[in-house]
Amino acid sequence: MAESVLRGRRISRRVFLKGAAAAGGLLALGPLSACDGVEPDDMPSSPLRIGTVSTWAAWGSLYIAERKGFFKQYGADVEIKSYAYSGALDALSTKKLDAAFLVVSDVVPMAAAGLPVQVVWAVDQVLTSDALVVRAGVNELGDLRGGRIGVLYGGFSHFWVLKALEAKGIAPDEVSFMDVAGEDVPARLRSGEIDAGETWEPHISEAVEDDGQALLFPANSPVPMIEGLVFQRAPIEKRPADVQAAVRGLMAAQQWWRRNPIEGNAVVADGMNAFVGEGDAEVTSVDIERTIAGLWLYRVEDNERVFARSDHAGSLYTVLAAVNDFFMRLGIVEESPALDGVLNATFMREAAAS
């Protein structure tokens, strides 16, 4: 089943707070209580509602699991819903979703706001499918002193771009950060409103076609950009067999995709096109291939590595701690959440062992 809601990808903490407040004031009022929204476990026979983003191919295992029968094989009943990234965050916060694919670092402000969520599977690491694209005439980061940079404030894009500038000796007050959605970056560059902006494929290619260039990638970041599947605590605690079946199906689909990239890309393109809005260009296998070329789709051994408690830069514990420190410094997060409570490798490990 599929429901098209909104399109897009990233969300700033400020917009997340605004959107969630508009959706019911959950974050404005503080931590969630058991009576807020609709409890997924109130409908134990209903499908698990998993949110994705129609413009981002990295989470294509969701379409493959549905269309190639992996959900059915493992007894998972899943309803796919497609949102803008902001919509997915809001839907997860208001219990309209049981789970969503997200940039893992976004669980930090969610957990700090009292939202009971857990990362259960690390899906991929973004290398070059996101980028800081710049207008013609900007050839190095130093050229951005005094310039305007579009990012989604408080998101991972803001984090890694700011870290890159600091590494080159450029202080935050030497540039102006503007809150710009990634899909709007090419148009903002054309109009001269910004000198650089963080975006993703296919918008990177659009900016390059307009004489811009991709200057910086998450692959250059000292903290990896890891994406994963984030579940509400309610289905984890009250519907663990359903959650386990879904994770099994998704992991099997991702393994199949790695072995069958040509057919898999076609399946993902078909799945994404089910959510293409009227007047929007359809997604092709070439689009999928271009995006996936800039990712590392995680295997079981990659999940074991990133879920391991370690000081290694690739550990999820290290990633979340670094992003939390950054958010604390910006005042986006006022109190550090208990990061141990947002990572749960149980379902991933059980799926890998079966």
Domain count, the chain: 2
Are 112 and 30 in a shared domain?
yes
Are 111 and 230 in a shared domain?
yes
- Which residues constitute the domain of residue 139? 130-216
Are 141 and 64 in a shared domain?
no
Are 286 and 344 in a shared domain?
yes
Domain boundary (216, 238, 266) is at 216
CA distance 116 to 93: 9
Domain CATH number, residue 79: 3.40.190.10
Are 321 and 233 in a shared domain?
yes
Are 106 and 156 in a shared domain?
no
Comparing 60-74, 117-131, 196-210, 321-335, which segment has the lowest mean pLDDT?
321-335
pLDDT at 40 over 70: no
Are 10 and 120 in a shared domain?
yes
Compute the average pLDDT of residues 213-237: 94
pLDDT at 174 over 70: yes
* Average model confidence (pLDDT) across the chain: 85
What does the pLDDT read at residue 246?
98
Q: What is the pLDDT of residues 285-325, one digit of tens each?
A: 999 999 999 999 999 999 999 999 888 888 999 999 998 99
Residue 175 — pLDDT band, cuts 50, 70, 90?
Answer: very high
Are 118 and 244 in a shared domain?
yes
pLDDT at 19 over 80: no
Residue 81 — pLDDT band, cuts 50, 70, 90?
Answer: very high
Are 235 and 338 in a shared domain?
yes
Are 178 and 109 in a shared domain?
no
Residue 201 — pLDDT band, cuts 50, 70, 90?
Answer: confident
Residue 279 — pLDDT band, cuts 50, 70, 90?
Answer: low
Are 263 and 338 in a shared domain?
yes
Domain boundary (183, 216, 249) is at 216
Q: Which of 26-30, 40-44, 298-302 has the highest mean pLDDT?
A: 298-302
Residue 37 — pLDDT band, cuts 50, 70, 90?
Answer: very low
Residues 143-155 as b/e (b if ≥16 CB within 10 A, e otherwise) read ebeeebbbbbbbb
pTM confidence score? 0.84
Residue 227 — pLDDT band, cuts 50, 70, 90?
Answer: very high
Count Cβ atoms within 10 A of the Cβ of residue 343 and give its class: 0-12 exposed, 13-18 middle, 19 or more buried: buried
Rounded to whole angstroms, what are the CA distances from 20 to 87, 90, 115, 188, 336?
Answer: 9, 5, 11, 27, 20
Domain boundary (216, 242, 265) is at 216
What does the pLDDT read at residue 220?
85
Are 21 and 41 in a shared domain?
yes
